[in-house]
A = this chain, B = another copy of it.
Amino acid sequence: MQVAIPLYPRFTALDAVGPYTVMAFTPGWTVTFVGAETGPVLDDKGGLSLVAAATYADLPRPDVIVVPGGPGTLQAVFDEPLLNWVREAHEHTRWTTSVCSGSFVLGAAGLLKGRDATTHWGWLEQLSGVGARPVGERVVTDGRIVTAAGVSAGIDMALSLVGEAAGETTAQTVQLAIEYAPEPPFQAGTPKTAPPELAEPALGLIDFE
């Protein structure tokens, strides 16, 4: 199974590295970071550069695409080389997926029209602007399109996909290898459980410019 994760400036690191880690731990799966050019791509917080090891042209037909989110999606939705690659690669994927605001890239590529999809809670309703039906769940599957909620939700999505493609036993083995038995010290991970006054400052931590 060949997975491609496109990088664009000001992506959010965990959006990409959560699914990467789950999928790269899966026997027989290869995960490649791709970009318009090879080389380092800087994240949203300016502290991390991930290296794109291949160009879009190098990987025209991955089995799985995972588009990460981040404040850079505001520019990525107008990035024609990225959108063209997503659109063309999607013709042949088993799954075309996104994490967080990465779903807006799928939307800009025209892939979400009339489809159920999700994204970060902060702009879920805005998904209707690309023709999707916003669904407030952590992982949303509509045919070959799978979208995950904000940032950390990509880990859950990736484990689900590994379970479907490689079987539950393999997915559980990967889960055990990465000791994914979360114990968040607080219960503020969604607007449903967080103190309501935190919503605005939480969105303020996302550096749109």
Contacts and interface: CB of A to CB of B under 8 A. Distances in A.
Contacts of A13: 17, 20-21, 24
Contacts of A171: 185-186, 188
A24 to B, nearest CB: 4
A12 interface: yes
A176 B156 contact: no
Given A176-B188, A190-B179, A47 B20 contact: yes
A156 B182 CA distance: 7
This chain's copy number in the assembly: 2
Interface in A186-207: 186-191, 193-195, 198-199, 201-203, 205-206
A32 interface: yes
B206 A186 contact: no
A172 interface: yes
Given A13-B21, A20-B13, A152-B155, A191 B176 contact: yes
5 contacts: A12-B21, A25-B45, A151-B177, A175-B184, A175-B186
